[in-house]
Chains A and B, each alone.
Chain A
Amino acid sequence: MVPRPAALPLGILMVGVGGILLFVAFHNLPPEVKTFSDFLGHMAVQFQQSGAK
């Protein structure tokens, strides 16, 4: 067995950074977005609108 002392802090760091990114992704959405499927629909509309510009 080779010890992996850096795995725990690395894991904490990755979860921390990932949490921030998930916050950026899912915060401040329009109030009508309440479920994940609503979110996917909202994003699809956004991309269609940006593609139409």
Chain B
Amino acid sequence: MSRVPTGGGAPTGTDFLALTIDQIGTPYVWGGDRPGGFDCSGLVKWATEKLGINFPRTSEEQWAAVQRIRADQLQPGDLIFMNFPGEAAPGHVVIYAGNDQIIQAPSTGQLVQRDSFTAGTAQQWGATIVGYGRIPGLNYSGEPVTTNLGKGGTTAGGAGSGGQATGSILSNIWDALSLGPGFTGGPSPSDIANSILSVAAPLVKVAEALDWFFHPDHWIRLFAGLAGGILVFSGIWQMSHAGEGGG
């Protein structure tokens, strides 16, 4: 069944959602991004590709590319990103289908499926919600969606992207700061903390590498001592015989 819009104008979030619904029953295949098998982000990638939208492949890249929205702004076709323990970046992405339901390619051995999804569902799965995102280039409620934070993408509707993107940045900052009494929308403190952690993850890797270097395990010391001694001895020998012939 073809759901690709044939008329003018940008494809909608509903078009995108319909494409993913068509794939319900397709087996989960890690790395899959074709109708024979999908992983979570592969399903999103394939459906956006079918709609003529250039969208990244992995959930981490997709999280970087979407326009960030709040939970109360979710519309059918939006994306929900989550982390499972041990993941530095969003390791799972699902498609919001409206009415507290999602479409997802869960994991190996399962099929692309529709699941109910409420506020506590991620915790029940042992996951943490990283955030919510809207795919740039899809049309929601008649308004083209701007790209996320000036990452160089385009708007589906064309003009006015600079002002809209700036407005979006200010809106996100305002949303993050608006956590006073009576405030019900916007990201929770844990959402903000997770966002900061996802940004800091590469720095943590560098810190771990430095820690490894400056506080080596005794096995590493043993290997480094032996290998270093052999290398230095061999290097000195090489240099002292540099002018001699090999034959």
Q: Are A20 and B228 in contact (CB under 8 A)?
A: yes
Say yes or no: B228 contacts A8, CB within 8 Å: no
A8 to B219, CA, bound (A): 31
Residue of A11, A13, A25 near B242 (CB, 8 A) is: A11
Cα–Cα distance between A16 and B221 once the two chains are bound (Å): 17
Shortest CB-to-CB span from A42 to chain B, Å, is: 8
Question: Which positions 1-27 of chain A face chain B at CB distance < 8 Å?
Answer: 1-4, 7-8, 10-27
Size band of the interface chain A makes with B: 20 to 34
Cβ of B246 and Cβ of A2 under 8 Å apart? yes
The dominant DSSP class at the A interface is helix
Is A28's CB within 8 Å of the partner chain B? Answer: yes
Range, interface on chain B? 20 to 34
Known A-B contacts A25-B221, A25-B228, A26-B225; the reply to A8 vs B235 at CB < 8 A is: no
Q: Is the interface of B mostly helix, strand, loop or mixed?
A: helix
Contact between B230 and A18 (Cβ–Cβ < 8 Å)? Answer: yes
Say yes or no for B206: interface residue by CB 8 A criterion. no
Chain A residue with Cβ nearest B231: A18
Interface contact B224-A25, CB-CB below 8 Å: yes
A3 touching B245 in the complex, CB below 8 Å, given contacts A12-B235, A14-B238:
yes
Most buried by A among B215, B218, B240, B244: B218
Residues of A within 8 A of B179 (CB): none
- With A14-B231, A21-B228, A25-B228 given, name 13 new contacts (CB 8 A): A4-B241, A4-B242, A7-B239, A8-B238, A8-B239, A11-B236, A11-B240, A15-B231, A17-B228, A18-B231, A21-B224, A24-B228, A28-B216
Give residues in A with beta carbon < 8 Å to B: 1-4, 7-8, 10-28, 43, 46-47, 50
